[in-house]
Structure 1
Amino acid sequence: MHVRGAGLIGCAAAYGMYLSLRNLSPTSNMQQVRECLEHASQQLRATRPTAVNLRVGVEKILQAVETALGQSEGDGGQQAAEEAARQEAVRITDDAEFCRRIGEAGAEILQQLYERLFGCADFSMPLRMSVLTHCNAGWLAFASGLQIGVRFVAQVDETRPRFTSISCLELQGKHGVAHTVIADNTGGHLMRTGLVDVVITGADRVSSCGDACNKIGTYLKALAARDNNLPFYVALPSSTIDWRLKDGADIPIEQRGDDEVKYAEGLCEDGKRRKVLLTPQSSAAGNWAFDVTPSRLVTGLLTERGLAEASEKGLAALFPEALPLESCFGCCSTPLELGQADRT
């Protein structure tokens, strides 16, 4: 696995579609362009079934190219390739801006929580609240909190078996955030003993009713947060919302290879990376990569347009154009179309 995070997976898929076009001859006809993209689409969709951004990235290129072909007036597929490149540039620009806005929404929530916990907004005081995060994207929600001076310490799940929180640690290191790496099963204990004030995670797909699919183990964190009366937020760009899907139980859950569970790879004292076997060689292993947290356990969704209630009504209030688009255009409507409204 070389690409992590739903947004980046979507961008990589769009680039993959574009690069497939570059393999064509400049004299390729429209049918050859369509066949090339269909083949690339099938290959890409099969790689990561859970993150909706991948499907969205593929579909946006397909739509853009089909529009370009309709306007090409018989000059082959060159214009389609150019249009695909343009759409990809728009896609990446949207996600970068959306991430900044998510950070602003997270900062506002953390500031309010800080004031409730400590009874003041004086961030110069040596008071820190504790944020538990699981997997990559949680950092988005509190990066901007640092800019306004909110003081906190991060409890960072290792997120076995991929150890995906390492990316989060790198980003936290750049911002100078105090953090502690904890084993995945430690979060419940920390919540029960008062060592966590809020949980913030990312998401790989969110249903239109607010069910959130994220790295395996997120559901358990949400259950522990609810049992200990702690807020549980999910940070995501709107490109991660699957407007076609209402029930999170219908999200396909990727199952990865046994070796990710049975082996661990790391840097040894001699500076070389090695992989070691953790289990008996003959043992089978189950490797479900994601789980789904029901909306009833989610305090709120942190998006580029602010905080949304984890419900169809709550999401529709922030993205009123999404559901009408779905009913009007059916399968042609994708979350990326929401970015058009944000750029006007």
Structure 2
Amino acid sequence: MSQDNWKEEAGATPQAATDETAGMQKAQQTVLDNLVNSVVKEQRASRRWGIFFKLLTFGYLFFLAYLFLASDKLQLGDGASSLSHTALIDVQGVIANKENASADNIVSALRNAFEDNGTKGIILRINSPGGSPVQSGYVYDEINRLRGLYPSIPVYAVISDIGASGAYYIAAAANEIYADKASLVGSIGVVSAGFGFVELLEKLGVDRRIYTSGENKGFLDPFQPQKESEVEFWQTVLDTTHQQFINSVKQGRGDRLKQDPALFSGLVWSGEQALEAGLIDGLGSSSYVAREIIGEDNIVNYTLEESPLERFAKRIGAGAVEALSTQMGFKGAPLQ
């Protein structure tokens, strides 16, 4: 290689390096610009989604407020009518505290119906296997109290598929009881059931340890052998409750009851058999009683039900509510 050529190549090297550096800087700038643009776009999208969720949450809250006001209005006015009518109250499902057929719900509906000047008669439409004797007793006593305050408003119980145990307890407070010929009626008795795991624990080699203050505090423990004295005592509790049930039925039904001890044995009867035994007064539906017995076929339902707000809250679920609250920055407990 000649000296001139060496100088020419040597002189070109710094220029090539400069061009390469410039290219790298340009590429880095391009990457940086793309990154910045991506971050900006992501921030804009995040802000838009944030605004969307906030608007959605506000809309949800306004909707809940609307349902709350609407439900209050319905509960205050849905069962009230100045026109002549038959009041209908459903007793559906298990009779227990916090259930639809709780004493609180049934009693509140009864009071609303009795206090309405347009009520000509009240029908308790029963479809229940029974439940708590305490809840049933509350309703029974309140029916008798209200009948005393409003003697001109009769109460009729109408059993559809089943009116047994605590449900019949409630029905016995009515002026008259009606059912279908195939309805199941009665079951005037008290039951208490459980399991014993003593032998199972022995096979597993598990030692049950229980510490109490009070000689009988752990009585009827399913993991301990039964004591005859405890069983006898518990039977007296059941017998006492059963006798309370019998007394209430006899007080409500009076001479209409057939003198047959089997009526109070816990057996259940068909509507046709119940009529012969004096457990009911006739065969017929709610519309039949309203039309033919009360003489007013305009029926107004006074049954207390879940408000639209409560139903909507259950459907959407606590998880969805919590997610919306998080989007708004709220960290409080979700709606229950």
Q: What's the TM-score bracket when you normalise by the shorter of the two chains?
A: under 0.3
Q: Which has the larger radius of gyration?
A: 2
TM-score by length of 1: 0.26
**Higher relative helix content:** 2
TM-score by length of 2: 0.26
